[in-house]
Structure 1
Amino acid sequence: MSRKLEGKKIMITGASSGLGVEIAKKCAQQGAILLLVGRNESRLEAIVQECCILGAREVLAYPYDLRNVHEIPSLINSVNEKAEGIDVLINNAGFGLFERLDQTSIQTVQDMFNVNVLSLIILTKSVIPIMKRGNKAHIINIASQAGKLATPKSSIYSATKFAVIGFSNSLRMELAEENIAVTVINPGPIDTSFFDQADSSGTYAKSVKRYMLNPEKVASKTVQSIFTNKREINLPAWMNGLAKIHTLFPSIVEAVGKKGFHSK
């Protein structure tokens, strides 16, 4: 196994569940120093113990609710004071809720943008000065295929992921001369607890179960991209292909895919 992450300080948000856990475990196996941020404190403590067993050089946990965007700079200061640097930031935290816009509360809209977009931007802005002091750094933003091809009952979620992709593409050019790489990961549905909240009825999750990605495999692809110049990772390939076709022939794709798009 590659040990390119040995001793590297890797900050992961949304680290107490789902894809974040798998990414943390993969980094731990390479001897990284992990800086884990998550809402669920007890779950976070369990992940700390597991990552230590897997080989992490050190694991520090920071229970934090990213809806509280105004205190994020203070969070980064605390992390930096203790870790003395951040080499990699993996902005993984996020949530969705599949429902029609006219049935979605303003609070849900605010919360989703705070967690999926604003916290990601503020975290990134806060770590850049720290990363500039090092030799090489990497920012990885977990977006979604929903940020390339929007479907019904995901207008707000798709809007947040479109924003993450656009932000990442601009940021990559801004940091090109700073030796800070920027990669965006665009997965389709992943078999995690994400759908417990996004799709409480279980209808959508059931309809796409056969297409769901293995979280461990997505984590592997994500970790493999660290310290490379990879612009994007799109999973699965066929879904990314569909998004490209939609860009060229939106009316046709929406007409042909209408039944599937409305399966939520």
Structure 2
Amino acid sequence: MKNLLITGATGDIAREIAKQVQGYRLILLSRDVSSLKDISEHLYQVNLTDEKALIATCQQISQDCGAIDVLINNAGYGYFKPFLTDTTSDVRQMFDVNVLALMTVTRTFLPDMIAQKSGQIINIASIASYMATSKTTAYAATKFAVRGFSDALRQEVADANIKVLVVNTGPVLTKFHAANPDYLKKVGKNAVTATFVAKKIVAHLQTSKRELNLPWQLNLARIFAINFPNVVDKITRRFFNIK
């Protein structure tokens, strides 16, 4: 049976993927696995910001289960905060979780994928990696980094038949936005459910798709932003300052 591993497994999107996926040995990695016992028996608990512990845990997973066939780097978090209120510690913590842990996990499992000449890496980024908005400076920076890393890695591992998929979502109805209900009210028409995002991801397991941009409305906005950045800056500056 092929192995599918999800980091940040207590997240809403991760849980929905775990519910929907079939035909894989499901391996879940999280800082707290107590709420995951009804989903999978292959649970591994670790603090993602502890690099030595994270590497050791990933190595233990490989020893227990063998090579990972699908790696879904879902772990990550964000907040809305003006840049001048951010501390270096806040920013470093977000990069540790959203970027460096993702790279560490990928680096640990990648040699086995290369050896078997197959595999898929799915990195959960954000539409913010294309359309950065006010009060998301640190978060947007991490998601730009995830997308850049993914695009470069895709070229490095192509000859080993390893696929890299980046998932960029707009607002998702998860606990990520629980602290800012007014924001969700404003963007409600463009918000999607974790179930919807998970369904799209599961539909693209083992495919060569390089990028998913969800929902379609924000994908159009993303394309518009690439071609008309000054116009989009003016629009988003007014609209997204509601955060």
TM-score after normalising by structure 1: 0.88
Q: Shift of the alpha carbon at 1:67? A: 1.9
Q: Does 1:34 align with 2:26?
A: yes
Q: Which runs of at least 4 in structure 1 moved beyond 6 Å after TM superposition?
A: none
For residue 142 of structure 2, what is the amino acid of its counterpart? T
Which residue matches 2:198?
Answer: 219
Distance in 1, Cα, partners of 2:58 & 2:182: 39
For residue 11 of structure 2, what is the amino acid of its counterpart? S
1:164-192: per-residue Cα shift (whole Å, max 9, x none)? 11111110000010011111111111111
SS of residue paired to 2:116: coil
Which residue matches 2:11?
Answer: 17
Q: What's the C-alpha RMSD, in Å, of the aligned pairs? A: 1.4
Query: Which residue of 209, 216, 236 corresponds with 2:215?
Result: 236
Q: Shift of the alpha carbon at 1:201? A: 4.1
Of residues 155-164 and 37-46 in structure 1, the stretch that sits farther from structure 2 once superposed is 37-46
Distance in 2, Cα, partners of 1:171 & 1:153: 29
For residue 161 of structure 1, what is the amino acid of its counterpart? K
Q: Shift of the alpha carbon at 1:238? A: 1.9
Of residues 119-128 and 205-214 in structure 1, the stretch that sits farther from structure 2 once superposed is 205-214
Q: List gaps (5 residues or longer) in structure 1.
A: 1-6, 49-58
Which residue matches 1:207?
Answer: 186
Which residue matches 2:132?
Answer: 150
Contact 1:38/1:44, CA 8 A, preserved across alignment: no
SS of residue paired to 2:217: helix
Q: Shift of the alpha carbon at 1:8? A: 1.4
Distance in 1, Cα, partners of 2:215 & 2:99: 23
Distance in 2, Cα, partners of 1:70 & 1:248: 43
Alignment of 1:85-104 (within 5 A): 85-104=67-86
Of residues 60-69 and 203-212 in structure 1, the stretch that sits farther from structure 2 once superposed is 203-212
Instruction: Name the count of aligned residue pairs.
Output: 243
Q: Shift of the alpha carbon at 1:242? A: 1.4
Contact 2:120/2:163, CA 8 A, preserved across alignment: yes
Distance in 2, Cα, partners of 1:25 & 1:41: 16
Which residue matches 1:173?
Answer: 155
Report sequence identity in percent: 39
Query: Which residue of 143, 146, 151 corresponds with 1:164?
Result: 146
Distance in 2, Cα, partners of 1:219 & 1:87: 18
Which residue matches 2:231?
Answer: 252
Q: Shift of the alpha carbon at 1:217? A: 1.4
Of residues 206-215 and 71-80 in structure 1, the stretch that sits farther from structure 2 once superposed is 206-215
For residue 80 of structure 1, what is the amino acid of its counterpart? S
Distance in 2, Cα, partners of 1:66 & 1:226: 24
Q: Does 1:130 align with 2:112?
A: yes
Q: Shift of the alpha carbon at 1:261? A: 1.7
